Amino acid sequence: MTQVAPARHLGAVRYEIRGPLARRALELEKQGYEIIKLNIGNPAAFGFRTPESMRLALIENLAQSEGYCHQKGIFPAREAVVMETQSKGIRGVTAEDVFLGNGVSELILMTMEALLEPGDEVLLPAPDYPLWTAAVVITGATPVYYSCRPDAACVPDPDELALLVTPRTKAIVLINPNNPTGAVYPREVLSRIVKIAERHDLVLFSDEIYDRILYDGAEHVPVATLCEGALCATFGGLSKVYRACGFRTGWVFFSGKKQRAERYLATLELLASLRLCANVPGQWAVQTALGGVQSIHELTSDTGRLGRQRRAVLQGVARSPYLRIVPPRGALYGFVGVDTDKVRGFDDAAFAMALLEEQRVLVVPGSSFNVPYRDHFRVTFLPDEETLREVFRRVDALLDKLAR
């Protein structure tokens, strides 16, 4: 029988966070094994709750959630995003500039599809969150990576980035705070990248889904506060800061040179209309979330749960003779490096599978985040401290074996 062939343009699309390793973990669970899953930043799986006020807002508005809403989203949610931009010093955003989506993931795909054609190029950080690469590849465009090297604290060098711009470049993507590294970019670096976008008339896409998840006094600078001479799209949502992944509610707002993007934004609205609207119930939680008490700050403090668990990861790395890490200053992850002088022939994918099969721990290989090296892996620090200590005990047990 002739096999049904997949579309060729999806051949280069990868998403190892839910790929073969995760499928193997599910098989092991069905056999009765307990797996410590560190592959996905899903707070609910580790006992984090969505704030009660948000849950109540959703419940109280269920009667208004049974029909379609406007393709850009309900007005109270879009207006709440506008109020948030004003509180951050971002100028010129109106409710018409805000699109609600089924999580930021959907909006990333839509904004890329509305912009890119085969042959275009987009500058992406390496490492990146792999959905960004996938969204570019699906359109037939080409991802071009600017390095965020561990020896530079995982912060990009604007001079190196500028050298990658060609006549085919359409956009620059920022992920700040970064997933997977947790790097938080300094104002001066962001300002220089903005100037590159303005000088070459590029669209600037800034993924800021972790904007309030910060540690050690890190300051998050919204890039839209610096960008007026180029079109700037900023992404946020309820999933991470508000521990509401299942609500599937994200947004993107546009600022800067909007007048040069009328046709692009009209096309984006067309795509929004084709999917009718985003999930309505979750949108009713946006106004409550953005206008309410920001409980995330208690969690990220030195004595808060996320602060303590982050510290457990750093301590686990520090105790290991094999591991190193750039301390994450934001987000929910540690991007852990392995000393390949001590573990000869180390390969991140093979290590991740062995860690799953032998130690029942699920991590994500660093190369899944589109870097050219194979000596890192990503963990989330959502589990409790005792679990994280056990994870690093198991990691070192496997590395001891590999080193021998």
pLDDT band for 347, please (50, 70, 90 cuts): very high
- CB half-sphere exposure, 342, CA atoms < 13 A: 13
Q: What is the mean pLDDT of residues 340-349?
A: 95
Distance of alpha carbon 35 from alpha carbon 25, whole angstroms: 7
pLDDT value at position 292? 86
- CB half-sphere exposure, 220, CA atoms < 13 A: 23
Find out whether 346 and 402 touch, Cβ atoms under 8 Å. Answer: yes
DSSP SS3 for 122: strand
Residues 6+ apart with CB under 8 A from 314: 325, 327, 334
Q: What are phi and psi of 124, to 5 degrees?
A: -125, 150
pLDDT band for 14, please (50, 70, 90 cuts): confident
C-alpha closest to that of 305 among 246, 383, 244: 383
Give the β-pairing of 142-147 and 98-101. unpaired
Find out whether 258 and 97 touch, Cβ atoms under 8 Å. Answer: yes
- Distance, C-alpha 56 to centroid of its chain: 27
H helices of 91-152, where?
103-115, 130-138
Determine the longest span between alpha carbons in the chain, in angstroms: 63
* Tokens representing residue 369 in the block: 């985040």
Find out whether 281 and 268 touch, Cβ atoms under 8 Å. Answer: no
Cβ-in-10-Å burial (0-12, 13-18, 19+) of 219 comes to: exposed
pLDDT band for 3, please (50, 70, 90 cuts): confident
H helices of 174-279, where?
187-200, 262-274
Q: Whole-model pTM above 0.85?
A: yes
Averaged confidence pLDDT in the chain: 95
Find out whether 212 and 76 touch, Cβ atoms under 8 Å. Answer: no
Find out whether 253 and 304 touch, Cβ atoms under 8 Å. Answer: no
Q: How many CB atoms lie within 10 A of CB 218?
A: 17
Length of the chain: 404
* pLDDT for 12 beyond 90: no
DSSP 261-284: GHHHHHHHHHHHHHT----HHHHT
Distance of alpha carbon 133 from alpha carbon 109, whole angstroms: 10
C-alpha closest to that of 11 among 137, 191, 154, 162: 137
* pLDDT for 2 beyond 90: no
DSSP 330-391: BSSEEEEEE-TTTSTT--HHHHHHHHHHHH-EE-EEGGGGS-S--SEEEEE--S-HHHHHHH
Read off the pLDDT of residues 304-324 as tens digits, 9 standing for 90 and up.
Answer: 999 999 999 999 999 999 999
- What is the CATH code of the structural domain delimited by 8-49+298-403? 3.90.1150.10
Residue given tokens 């987009």 in the structure block: 122
Please write down the long-range contacts of 27-36, taking CB distance under 8 Å and 24 or more positions apart: 28/356, 28/357, 28/360, 33/360, 34/360, 35/356, 35/360, 35/361, 35/362, 36/360, 36/361, 36/362, 36/383, 36/387, 36/390, 36/391
Say yes or no: domain 52-291 is CATH 3.40.640.10.
Answer: yes
C-alpha closest to that of 261 among 71, 92, 81, 83: 92
pLDDT band for 1, please (50, 70, 90 cuts): confident
Distance of alpha carbon 7 from alpha carbon 125, whole angstroms: 26
> Computed from CA positions of residues 333, 388, 322, 186, in that sequence, does the dihedral angle turn out positive or negative?
positive
CA dihedral 110, 111, 115, 119 (to 10 degrees): -80
CA distances for 211 relative to 45, 221, 231, 331, angstroms: 21, 9, 20, 8
The structural domains of the chain, with segments of one domain joined by +, span: 8-49+298-403, 52-291
* pLDDT for 182 beyond 90: yes
Find out whether 230 and 257 touch, Cβ atoms under 8 Å. Answer: yes
Read off the pLDDT of residues 59-117 as tens digits, 9 standing for 90 and up.
Answer: 999 999 999 999 999 999 999 999 999 999 999 999 999 999 999 999 999 999 999 99
Portion of the chain with pLDDT greater than 90, in percent: 94
